[in-house]
Structure 1
Amino acid sequence: MILTLQDDTVLRVYGSLEAVVMDVEALDAEEVLREVFDERGQRYVVEWLQPNSEVEIAGPIKVVGSGRYRLVPVGQPDLDALRSFIVKAAAIEPASAEHEVREL
């Protein structure tokens, strides 16, 4: 189970790191993904495989290209940090995962 606290303060639960990457496009990853943990308290951060790009094509007009990223573990598992992270959430999605998340 992967838990993400996103910019709207909603804790979203995913089945895998890959599911998070599929759901949150690279253009939004750094802004949307505030914190990412697994159920053991392992924290994950964005690692860029290919950074987002921005090219000026005419004056103030820019074309933005979506990069590629993955989520990689950082540090040691920290259950206290995970619990603090859960408390910050305004809501949990999907709602069906709330009981399991609260038991962590």
Structure 2
Amino acid sequence: MERIRALKYKYRISELQKLSTAVKRRRRKENMWITKIIELTDKLKKLEKANLREEAELRQVLYITGVVWECSNCHRTFVLYNPKSEGYNYCPVCGAKFKEYVYLEDD
């Protein structure tokens, strides 16, 4: 009887050790991913701060049926008819405030 108890006890201990090892491995992996996410978030914040200006120009690039405008900060293009009257004071991509609207006739 004692021998059976001893075997059951030994079996339970080995199962607990396996479970403990598995939990430790999983925690290490989770910590590794959390660390990577934090590092990437920090890098992204630094890049955003480096690339963003507080003010930008909205330049008219082309006139077809609509008017194609380009942000001087992020260099993305948009089709807008009249950005001033439509209320576009900020770039929808980078968030820079438009301090000036440069029309093709001004160039």
Q: Looking at CA atoms only, which structure, 1 or 2, has the larger radius of gyration? A: 2
If the TM-score is normalised by the length of the shorter chain, which range does it land in? under 0.3
> When you count strand as a share of all residues, which structure comes out higher?
1
> When you count helix as a share of all residues, which structure comes out higher?
2
Q: Which structure has more RCO (C-alpha within 8 Å, separation ≥ 6)?
A: 1
